[in-house]
């Protein structure tokens, strides 16, 4: 039987080839499994010295490869005896590993033929239930590919990873090699061992059972991607995302400018700009305008603030009259139960999002019990969390529905310059002035440093119930003339641009948007290691410093002193913070991941023939509790 000639590229692969070309210097590259020859031709035209290999080249090549490309047929990825040690600067290996029974041996050979600072560019297919001839592995997600590469000894610290089109893709260096025999037990604990050995990407802290279904890790597009082509065969990626009618519940967008409202308006504006029809529902009897700027195409609907049966019936009527494809509910309190009841009544898929605060915080302060949260999450089609660390706070029955996507913020127009010499410097903190944000810690620490650093001032941006108390404390400490209480402004970005150092004293945030804003502006930051959000975003010693939480004021003084005294250190860490933002939190990457999540939820409900046991149980609980 004659095999058909393949004349089309794998969806998304051209984008990845172009990204490699613009991101790395030319050198000698091995195209392992050249297929149609697309990558070999692109690399050759860009000035790379290309060696192309593959089985059955005559059947798969679109046309003979250009003169100048070295072509070697029938090269076995598990036995690259044709090549010497450290022979190549880079390897392009796209959609080969799924055909290999001995993955470990293949990766060992790839490392062997790479130079010590060489790069592996590897693409594998995403996981699928269909069994395909020749594929002895049914596919990967981003987490499983990272784990396999870390185990094989590749260097992931500066690696970049993305699920794009029909490609789960990684750029990693040759690395230090496998850990010594016996260190890994091939059992629980191995992920933590690899993480402690620095074998995972910088800033990524996996643990046993982490959710590997991620859109990207440390990814940065230097060459903007093109639209993914529509489905061409059974194995192609899904078609471009069709326009959706999306209803967002953003609870207090007309009353405050908190993190949930910030993320909600970012999601809504991003979806409107991507061509989707967007409506925001909020609870406000006074029908005030949004405190956040909304795209002109977004409709704002005011729902009753009451939480009784009549208000919920009105919510269901307002939602059902707009013919939505999907509902998205943001918050982390009992309002989520209202979202679930509404989605259940009108028969729509629902994404529940906890975007801004440690999920345990609501339970600790008593406004959302564990049982209530479990019931709400059982009624969600998909669950959005910004960190892997919080998946374990969910009931095991719903963890598979979780999608991990970080938050993002508006790109700044002007960056900070924390390393420049000047006559006055600013330590900045921005937050609600409330007890759980710990703003008093910054005042106490700064007071101990004022005599050492007379050229520094503390600027506190934000308002809240503690403001008067903090003003009195600054006066008592004799530093009221060195502390500026700026209040809550419409635009905090000018404060970041003028600052030299950022402090975040809170202990209860997952991905603090204020810290993300500081990183985006190129500011080094100081936070506490017992705050999950700070310890996840701040790479201590590189983008800022983490303080020990045992003696908070003393440790904060030590970290601030180190950075206030060293302009070169502030400059270096500020640049690293900006780079980390671009890799992890860039608008285009996060917005695309949100869009894919919403489209997936729509498809999940459309394809579901009957509800699962968790949903049936939750519905019965709602009926008992709410008298439906």
| Range in 78-82, 219-223, 501-505 with the lowest mean pLDDT | 219-223
| Residues 36 and 160 grouped into a single domain | yes
| Residues 334 and 447 grouped into a single domain | no
Residue 64 covered by a domain: yes
Mean pLDDT of 509-532: 87
CA 35/CA 21 separation, integer angstroms:
19
| Residues 383 and 310 grouped into a single domain | yes
**φ/ψ of residue 252, rounded to 5:** -130, 40
Q: Given pLDDT bands bounded at 50, 70 and 90, which one contains residue 232?
A: very low
pLDDT value at 491 more than 90: no
pLDDT value at 620 more than 90: no
For residue 29, the cross-strand partners are 50, 90
| Range in 3-17, 131-145, 161-175, 253-267 with the lowest mean pLDDT | 3-17
CA 78/CA 177 separation, integer angstroms:
17
Q: Given pLDDT bands bounded at 50, 70 and 90, which one contains residue 495?
A: very high
- Which tokens is 282 given? 């909020």
| Residues 22 and 164 grouped into a single domain | yes
DSSP string, 290-355: PSS---TT-EEEEEPS--SHHHHHHHHHHHHTT--SEEEEE-SSTHHHHHHHHHHHHT--EEEE--
Residue 306 covered by a domain: yes
For the segment 39-48, what is each residue's pLDDT rounded down to a tens digit? 999 999 999 9
**Higher model confidence: residue 215 or residue 415?**
415
CA 526/CA 287 separation, integer angstroms:
40
Q: Classify residue 491 by burial, with Cβ atoms within 10 Å: 0-12, 13-18, 19+.
A: exposed
What pLDDT does residue 397 have? 86
CA 579/CA 583 separation, integer angstroms:
6
Q: Given pLDDT bands bounded at 50, 70 and 90, which one contains residue 372?
A: confident
| Residues 498 and 381 grouped into a single domain | no
What pLDDT does residue 236 have? 37
What pLDDT does residue 490 have? 78
Nearest residue to 336 via CA among 247, 246, 249, 245: 249
Residue 479 covered by a domain: yes
| Residues 203 and 269 grouped into a single domain | no
Mean pLDDT of 8-14: 78
Residue 212 covered by a domain: yes
Most confident of the following: 149-163, 388-402, 584-598: 149-163
| Residues 276 and 390 grouped into a single domain | yes
What pLDDT does residue 220 have? 77
Residue 37 covered by a domain: yes
Q: Are 529 and 555 in contact (CB under 8 A)?
A: no
Give SS3 for 394: coil
**Higher model confidence: residue 272 or residue 256?**
272
CA 467/CA 463 separation, integer angstroms:
6
What pLDDT does residue 405 have? 87
H-helix or E-strand containing 403? Answer: strand 402-404
| Residues 264 and 375 grouped into a single domain | yes
**Higher model confidence: residue 194 or residue 164?**
194
- Give the single-character DSSP code of 400: G
| Residues 149 and 264 grouped into a single domain | no
Residue 379 covered by a domain: yes
Q: Are 346 and 322 in contact (CB under 8 A)?
A: no
CA angle 342, 343, 345 (to 5 degrees): 65
What pLDDT does residue 47 have? 94
- Give the single-character DSSP code of 389: G
Mean pLDDT of 362-371: 62
Q: Given pLDDT bands bounded at 50, 70 and 90, which one contains residue 272?
A: very high
Residue 228 covered by a domain: no
Residue 222 covered by a domain: no
Mean pLDDT of 160-173: 91
| Residues 375 and 499 grouped into a single domain | no
Give the distance from CA 298 to its chain's centroid: 25
What pLDDT does residue 510 have? 57
Q: Given pLDDT bands bounded at 50, 70 and 90, which one contains residue 226?
A: low
89: domain CATH number is 3.40.50.150
468: domain CATH number is 3.40.50.2000
Q: Given pLDDT bands bounded at 50, 70 and 90, which one contains residue 390?
A: confident
Q: Given pLDDT bands bounded at 50, 70 and 90, which one contains residue 116?
A: very high
- According to DSSP, the β-strands at 216-217 and 245-249 are unpaired
For the segment 282-317, what is each residue's pLDDT rounded down to a tens digit? 999 999 999 999 999 999 999 999 989 999 999 999
CA angle 331, 332, 334 (to 5 degrees): 100
Mean of all residue pLDDT scores within the chain: 86
pTM: 0.60
pLDDT value at 359 more than 90: no
| Residues 55 and 183 grouped into a single domain | yes
For the segment 398-440, what is each residue's pLDDT rounded down to a tens digit? 888 888 888 888 889 999 999 999 999 999 999 889 887 889 9
Express as a percent the part of the chain with pLDDT over 70.
88
What pLDDT does residue 287 have? 95
| Residues 183 and 298 grouped into a single domain | no
Total number of domains in the chain: 3
Q: Which residue carries 């904060």 as its tokens?
A: 556
| Range in 177-191, 254-268, 271-285, 355-369 with the lowest mean pLDDT | 355-369
Mean pLDDT of 243-247: 96
What pLDDT does residue 381 have? 94
Q: Given pLDDT bands bounded at 50, 70 and 90, which one contains residue 607?
A: low
First to last CA, the chain: 62
Q: Given pLDDT bands bounded at 50, 70 and 90, which one contains residue 358?
A: low
Q: Which domain holds residue 143?
A: 13-217
What pLDDT does residue 517 have? 93
- Give the single-character DSSP code of 140: B
């Amino acid at each position: 039987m004659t095999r058909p000639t393949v004349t089309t590229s794998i969806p998304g692969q051209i984008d990845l080839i172009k990204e490699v070309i613009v991101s790395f210097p030319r050198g000698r590259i091995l195209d392992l499994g050249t297929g149609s020859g697309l990558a070999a031709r692109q690399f050759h035209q860009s000035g790379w010295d290309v060696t192309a290999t593959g089985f059955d080249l005559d059947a798969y090549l679109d046309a003979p490869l250009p003169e100048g490309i070295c072509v070697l047929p029938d090269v076995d990825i598990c036995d690259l005896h044709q090549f010497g040690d450290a022979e190549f600067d880079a390897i392009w290996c796209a959609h080969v590993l799924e055909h290999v029974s001995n993955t470990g041996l293949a990766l060992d050979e790839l490392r062997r033929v790479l130079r010590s600072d060489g790069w592996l560019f590897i693409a594998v297919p995403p996981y699928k239930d269909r069994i395909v001839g020749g594929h002895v592995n049914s596919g990967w997600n981003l987490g499983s590919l990272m784990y396999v590469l870390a185990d094989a000894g590749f260097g992931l610290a500066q690696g970049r990873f993305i699920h794009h089109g029909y490609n789960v893709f990684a750029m990693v260096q040759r690395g230090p090699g496998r850990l010594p025999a016996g260190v890994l037990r091939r059992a629980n604990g191995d992920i933590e061992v690899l993480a402690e050995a620095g074998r995972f990407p910088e800033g990524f802290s996996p643990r046993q059972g982490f959710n590997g279904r991620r859109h990207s890790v440390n990814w940065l597009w230097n060459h903007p991607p093109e639209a993914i082509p529509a489905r061409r065969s059974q194995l192609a990626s899904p078609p471009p995302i069709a326009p959706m009618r999306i209803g967002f519940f953003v609870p207090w967008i007309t009353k405050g400018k908190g993190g949930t409202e910030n993320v909600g308006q970012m999601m809504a504006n991003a979806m409107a700009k991507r061509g989707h029809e967007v409506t925001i529902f909020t609870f406000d009897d006074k029908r005030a305008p949004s405190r956040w700027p909304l795209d002109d195409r977004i409709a704002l609907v005011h729902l009753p603030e009451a939480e009784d049966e009549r208000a919920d019936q009105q919510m269901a009527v307002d939602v059902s009259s707009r013919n939505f494809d999907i509902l998205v509910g943001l918050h982390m309190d009992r309002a989520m139960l209202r979202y679930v009841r509404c989605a259940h009544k009108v028969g729509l898929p629902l994404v529940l999002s906890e975007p801004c605060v440690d999920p345990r915080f609501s339970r600790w302060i008593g406004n959302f019990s564990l049982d209530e949260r479990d019931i709400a999450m059982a009624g969600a089609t998909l669950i959005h969390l910004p960190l892997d660390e919080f998946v374990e706070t969910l009931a095991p029955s719903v963890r598979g529905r979780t999608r991990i996507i970080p938050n993002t913020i508006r790109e700044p127009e002007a960056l900070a310059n924390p390393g420049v010499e000047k006559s006055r410097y600013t330590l900045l903190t921005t937050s609600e002035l409330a007890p759980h944000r710990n703003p008093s810690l910054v005042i106490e620490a700064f007071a101990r440093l004022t005599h050492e650093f007379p050229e520094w001032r503390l600027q506190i941006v934000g308002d809240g119930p503690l403001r008067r108390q903090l003003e009195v404390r600054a006066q008592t400490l004799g530093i009221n003339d060195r502390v500026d209480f700026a209040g809550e402004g419409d635009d905090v970005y000018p404060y970041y641009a003028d600052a030299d150092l950022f402090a975040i004293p809170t202990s209860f945030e997952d991905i603090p948007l204020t810290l993300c804003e500081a990183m985006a502006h190129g500011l080094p930051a100081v936070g506490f290691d017992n705050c999950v959000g700070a310890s996840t975003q701040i790479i201590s010693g590189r983008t800022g410093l983490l303080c020990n939480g045992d003696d908070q004021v003393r440790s904060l003084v030590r970290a601030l002193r180190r950075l206030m005294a060293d302009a070169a250190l502030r400059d270096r860490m500020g640049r690293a913070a900006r780079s980390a933002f671009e890799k992890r939190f860039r608008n285009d990457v996060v917005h695309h991941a949100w869009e894919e999540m919403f489209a997936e939820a729509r498809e999940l409900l459309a394809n579901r023939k009957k509800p699962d046991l968790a949903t049936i149980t939750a519905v019965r609980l709602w009926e008992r509790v709410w008298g439906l």
